[in-house]
Structure 1
Amino acid sequence: MHSENPVGPAYEKLIEAYLILADTGKVFKLARKQSKIYGQSKPAYYADYWHFSRTLGRRGPDFSVLENLTRSNPFSVRASAQQLVKYNYIEEAIGLYQIAEAAQPNVRTAFERGQLHAQLGQYNAQYEAYLLAVQQNGGYLNSIKVRIANNLSDDPKDIHNTAVKKVLYDAIKNSSDPLVEQLLLFVLRQEGSFDRAFTFMRSRFDGSASIQPFLQVLREAREANADDVAEEIGNFLLTQKTALSQQRGTNSVLLELGKCHEKTNNRAAIFKLSDEYPIGACSACFEWERFRATFLFENSTAIGDSLQQLFSYESTLEQLRERYPRKFQRGLTHLSQGEANLRFGYFDDALMEFARAEALLEDSDQGDIARLKKATCAFYGGDIPWAKTQLEVLLQSTSKSIANDALENALMISANSVEDTLMEGLGLIRIPMLLEAQGKTTKAIANYKALKNTLIVHELYDDVCFKLGKLYVESAQWKMALAEFALVQQAAGEGMWKEDAIFYIAKCRFELKETEAQSALEDYLLNYPAGLYFDQARTMYRTLAL
């Protein structure tokens, strides 16, 4: 086969066969013959000849022969370098790549060279090579981003973080390149340095550039609990009146800033925004105006004493329907109105609003949410069989965007309403569930605690403990939550809440800074590598490692 096709795969196979037989003489002769006949056109054969002459102690070519062949034929370097890497000559392969790149810049081997620098721990050189590769060929951008993200840690002073930032900052000092700036922002966001990312973006902002990068960093900062930075970005964007008007960005900025203030329970800041940007203050601000109306309704001091706030809220939603006539937007207002009616216990009115929302939102994610709320509303009203039927259909094709809490309720109702005894239990548990849905957390906790004694030998006992534990988590009562999830783990066995119990036990131990937190998180990560809470557990585990 080799004689018929001497430059094909048969040569490699023949070399391997001789090596297996430990016939070093034939190995060396074959490599020498191959390089002398075909080495000028395929310098990779000289890599074999050079390697075997060194390892076998035979007289052979100098490495400069391979270097000169690379200079005369730079595009042959990939094959030569791959052979050298095969024999673990990493530095020599890097040297050949550099010779080829100097002789012919269009050879574009910087990406491969960067990977070799990484093997030697030459991180500055690695990222310099990656930067050159992406400047030569934008197709490498996503691949390089993935590699950078995998190397970075949450510590800005980590060796990889320091190296890549130094390379990018040096490149920006030498010349202004949007691609380099994009990579630097990516690195700063990945390591969680949102304040530095914002400072850099603000220094480059000329008043007319896109505000989308600012919004992206704002969202990521809020999700990473860097709330001060998120608020600072939002307040800065609100001062850029021209850019917001031209890019129709006022709605997004107000909504993100409102969510940020809501997360930090800064009610005064949201009231201030609501006064400065009332309904009609800006065009195309539906999401903000709906958020604003809902916040004012839910935070009114009179909401527990009078229906006036409910009527006022319904009037505001009606105004939104008139201002924004699209079906989808109207559907969202009916969804909000249904939730308000449910909050006051008007189940029939809530069902009607959820049905209207379902018809307008159709097969969207929000449409699924409307269908789920309609079924759970029927459950709260006592029509458990109908709710069960609806939820069973919904759970077969439900959207992934539905919140976990809502799906947990749906699963519990669907799974536990088969027999009459279980129906009685659901009739009891729906009362604290309704209190929870209405935001009456203290009363809900008291009702769940009372139900524990009533349902101690009932199949719903683990459901009661689970929901009580979740409420304790929301109020940061970690010891109480830990006790409840321990009961869930004992009662559930291999049941529906097994994964949830293991995760929340680990989370409680983490928040309590217990020594068992690490082993508890490891237990979850090893047993549920594709679990619902895997990302959260991994973040906590990495935090412990710092």
Structure 2
Amino acid sequence: MRKILIIFICCFSLQTKAQEASLAFLYFRNGEYEKAVSIYKILHEKNPLNTSYFNQLVDSYQQLENFEEVKKLINKQLNKVPNQYHLLVDLGYNYQLQHQQDSATFFYKEAINTIEKSKNQGYLIGRTFQKNHLLDYALLAFKKAMELNPNVNYNLQIAAIYGEKADIENMLKTYLNLIETNINYLPSAKTYIGRYITDDSENEANNFLRKLLIQKMQNNPQNSWNELLSWLYMQQKEYSKAFIQEKALQKRNLSSLKGIIELGKITFEDTYYEVSKNCFNYVLENTDNLEEKLISKLYLLQISINTEADISNIELQFQQLFKDYGKNKNTLGIQLLYAEFLAFNKNEPEKAISLLKEAQKLPVNEFEKGNIKTKLADILVFSNKFNTALIYYTQVQNDLKNHAIGQTARFKIAQTSYFKGDFDWAQSQLRVLKKSTSQLIANDALDLNLLITDNVVKDSLKIALKKYALADLLAFQNKNQQAIDTLQVILNNFKGHSIEDEALFKQAKLFEKLNEFVNAENNYLKIITINKEDILADDAVYYLAELYLNKLNAIEKAKEYYQKIIFEYPSSIYLVDARKKYRKLRGDEIN
């Protein structure tokens, strides 16, 4: 009983202390520094070795400009534990806050000199300088500590300080030197470098990194330079250049095609189909691994579906694959793609459903089962069998709640409800998905939720939105001409309605699918004319430029509209790409 009582008292004491610390921090955060001091003072007296309480008490006094009290506090701490040399930095900073720079410099130099006495304190002294934004002194401290003790490596800290100083070149050099001495630093260095890299090849950090990596490759070739250069090119969407680096890596390490497969997947998702096709063809030429072969063939088939008009040729490719590899667990991905092809491209949904029901009999895991059911539900939506589709989506969502497959199923429940005109239930699902761990699903959920919200306010009967949802469904079902005609009804009957720009944009994208490029051009121009500040205006300007460049062969007009993005829509997500393409069309030399 006595032991239980002691444990209870200890737990109660710890809980009280935690509550006091939380309250003190709350006071500090709210600018009530006197109240913060009153609590931190007691906490520090009871726990003199707790650096958190000590530092918060110092900060609170300094916010009150009670510098004399800080001086007493630091000196008292130094008298108790003389070798806490990092406190000399805090003492110097206390003088700096009083504009006594000579005294501050004296203590900063003292702190640096003490590293010779106690090499192990170099890190703490450097961090204390860094905490007080004394970056040049922090660099001195870390570098001196490394000179005196060759066994320590503070290059990560040094590189981060160069970053804080906006000395990008030295930051990058330090990270690369770190990788050169120990390849295990590559993932960490890539993470930190990624904070400064953008998708703009003309960005200062991008330029420096490219030049430094090329120098490294010439002077001291190693795989990490190719890997980093490939990664840089991928950030810039210069995928052909990334492919060259990945091939160089693969030729040095013949056992691994992982990098090339990953690049193929990324370029496929980004619709750079030519590079994606090159990646997967390269894999097929250089592997005997069945899984790698089937992944490559799956993506190559998907590229054919997305880019070729000859359905019969694609059908032959599927049949050849099934002849070579069979319909089994290994070819499940190809079977799912074939089911989609049968329904959406050949308009043979019954065959697709039959194929998927056979696939359900295979010895698959719960995730593969979820994928089969989701694809089956998609085809049921294609066939307007919404209620049965919702049953399958709901099963997947319940079985795989915390997995991306389950979250996708929840989005499809919302989307199917939207197709049916049940906007309230759709929005109830979409609100949950806005917090999805998958950024893509969260963005799709946000877009659909905004579409519904924006277009029900002035239309209590939701007539226009229901018509638009029908057009969306027809587009989903690959019935593009019917979708275009339905959108035209909206444009004829709901001029000035908030949904007009959405209908014009959706119709323009469908016109492009049917190669009706002049009609698409007219729609984009109408969106810009209606309201150049509209949320879809920069989309219309960008896709108009793309249309002029890639389909209508109107180079000058393409330049004009890329330039509009640069000067009239500087916050647009298309800015970097527009600038790059404008400069290329203008004849500038692009790195």
The reply to whether TM is greater than 0.5 is yes
Task: Answer yes or no: is the 8 Å Cα contact 1:416–1:423 preserved in 2.
Answer: yes
2:393 to 350, 358, 369: 358
Output one character per residue of 1:436-481: Cα deviation in whole Å (capped at 9) or x when no partner: 3443333433343244333458xxx433552232221444524413
Task: Answer yes or no: is the 8 Å Cα contact 2:471–2:482 preserved in 1.
Answer: yes
2:85 to 42, 58, 76: 42
1:237–1:175 distance in 2 versus 1, CA, 3 Å: same
1:321–1:502 distance in 2 versus 1, CA, 3 Å: same
1:444–1:108 distance in 2 versus 1, CA, 3 Å: same
- Is residue 340 of structure 2 the alignment partner of residue 294 of structure 1? yes
Task: Answer yes or no: is the 8 Å Cα contact 2:504–2:523 preserved in 1.
Answer: no
1:314–1:231 distance in 2 versus 1, CA, 3 Å: same
Instruction: Report how many aligned residue pairs link the two structures.
Output: 491
Output one character per residue of 1:354-384: Cα deviation in whole Å (capped at 9) or x when no partner: 255336534323533553465456x3xxxx6
1:107–1:47 distance in 2 versus 1, CA, 3 Å: farther
Structure 2, unpaired ranges of 5+: 1-40, 399-405, 513-519, 545-559, 584-591
Match of 2:171 in 1: 126
- Is residue 487 of structure 2 the alignment partner of residue 448 of structure 1? yes
2:300 to 251, 254, 257: 257
1:463 to 492, 499, 509: 499
Which SS does the other structure have where 1:503 is aligned? coil
1:270–1:194 distance in 2 versus 1, CA, 3 Å: farther
Match of 2:16 in 1: none
Task: Answer yes or no: is the 8 Å Cα contact 2:490–2:503 preserved in 1.
Answer: no
- Is residue 546 of structure 2 the alignment partner of residue 507 of structure 1? no
Cα deviation, residue 104, structure 1: 1.2
1:74–1:133 distance in 2 versus 1, CA, 3 Å: farther
Cα deviation, residue 66, structure 1: 6.8
The code of the aligned residue for 2:540 comes to C
Match of 1:150 in 2: 195
Output one character per residue of 1:385-406: Cα deviation in whole Å (capped at 9) or x when no partner: xx45754654454585388499
The code of the aligned residue for 1:357 comes to Y
2:478 to 418, 434, 439: 439
Partners in 2 of 1:292 and 1:226 — Cα distance?
A: 22
Cα deviation, residue 219, structure 1: 2.6
1:486–1:291 distance in 2 versus 1, CA, 3 Å: farther
Partners in 2 of 1:13 and 1:370 — Cα distance?
A: 52
Match of 1:281 in 2: 325
Output one character per residue of 1:395-434: Cα deviation in whole Å (capped at 9) or x when no partner: 4545853884997499649975999x82666776666555
Task: Answer yes or no: is the 8 Å Cα contact 1:114–1:125 preserved in 2.
Answer: yes
Match of 1:196 in 2: 241
1:111–1:358 distance in 2 versus 1, CA, 3 Å: closer
Task: Answer yes or no: is the 8 Å Cα contact 2:491–2:504 preserved in 1.
Answer: no
Cα deviation, residue 14, structure 1: 13
Structure 1, unpaired ranges of 5+: 304-308, 491-500, 526-533
Cα deviation, residue 233, structure 1: 0.7
1:239 to 260, 274, 285: 285
Partners in 2 of 1:182 and 1:417 — Cα distance?
A: 52
Which SS does the other structure have where 1:278 is aligned? helix
Match of 1:480 in 2: 523
Partners in 2 of 1:369 and 1:465 — Cα distance?
A: 24
1:422 to 461, 464, 481: 461
1:442–1:51 distance in 2 versus 1, CA, 3 Å: same
1:139–1:352 distance in 2 versus 1, CA, 3 Å: same
Task: Answer yes or no: is the 8 Å Cα contact 1:334–1:353 preserved in 2.
Answer: no
2:565 to 513, 517, 522: 517
Give runs of aligned pairs for residues 52-131 of structure 1, distance below 5 A: 69-81=114-126, 91=136, 93-118=138-163, 122-131=167-176
Give runs of aligned pairs for residues 360-379 of structure 1, distance below 5 A: 360-363=395-398, 364-368=406-410, 371-372=413-414, 375=417, 379=420
The code of the aligned residue for 1:126 comes to M
The code of the aligned residue for 1:199 comes to I
Output one character per residue of 1:160-199: Cα deviation in whole Å (capped at 9) or x when no partner: 2243345556666777877666545433322334333322
The code of the aligned residue for 2:538 comes to A
Cα deviation, residue 100, structure 1: 1.8
Give runs of aligned pairs for residues 152-191 of structure 1, distance below 5 A: 152-156=197-201, 158-168=203-213, 183-191=228-236
Partners in 2 of 1:15 and 1:375 — Cα distance?
A: 59
Partners in 1 of 2:147 and 2:414 — Cα distance?
A: 64
Cα deviation, residue 109, structure 1: 1.8
Greater Cα shift, 437-446 or 103-112: 437-446
Match of 2:28 in 1: none
1:249–1:86 distance in 2 versus 1, CA, 3 Å: closer
The code of the aligned residue for 1:281 comes to Y
1:96–1:185 distance in 2 versus 1, CA, 3 Å: same
1:140–1:538 distance in 2 versus 1, CA, 3 Å: farther
Task: Answer yes or no: is the 8 Å Cα contact 1:320–1:333 preserved in 2.
Answer: no
Partners in 2 of 1:358 and 1:467 — Cα distance?
A: 28
Task: Answer yes or no: is the 8 Å Cα contact 1:38–1:45 preserved in 2.
Answer: no
RMSD: 5.6
The code of the aligned residue for 1:508 comes to A
Task: Answer yes or no: is the 8 Å Cα contact 2:455–2:498 preserved in 1.
Answer: no
Which SS does the other structure have where 2:195 is aligned? helix
Greater Cα shift, 504-513 or 68-77: 68-77
Task: Answer yes or no: is the 8 Å Cα contact 1:156–1:162 preserved in 2.
Answer: yes
Cα deviation, residue 38, structure 1: 9.6
Match of 2:551 in 1: none
Output one character per residue of 1:238-285: Cα deviation in whole Å (capped at 9) or x when no partner: 22332x32xx23443333334444444575885675355236626522
- Is residue 377 of structure 2 the alignment partner of residue 335 of structure 1? yes
Q: Percent identity?
A: 13
Which SS does the other structure have where 1:328 is aligned? helix
Partners in 1 of 2:188 and 2:125 — Cα distance?
A: 24
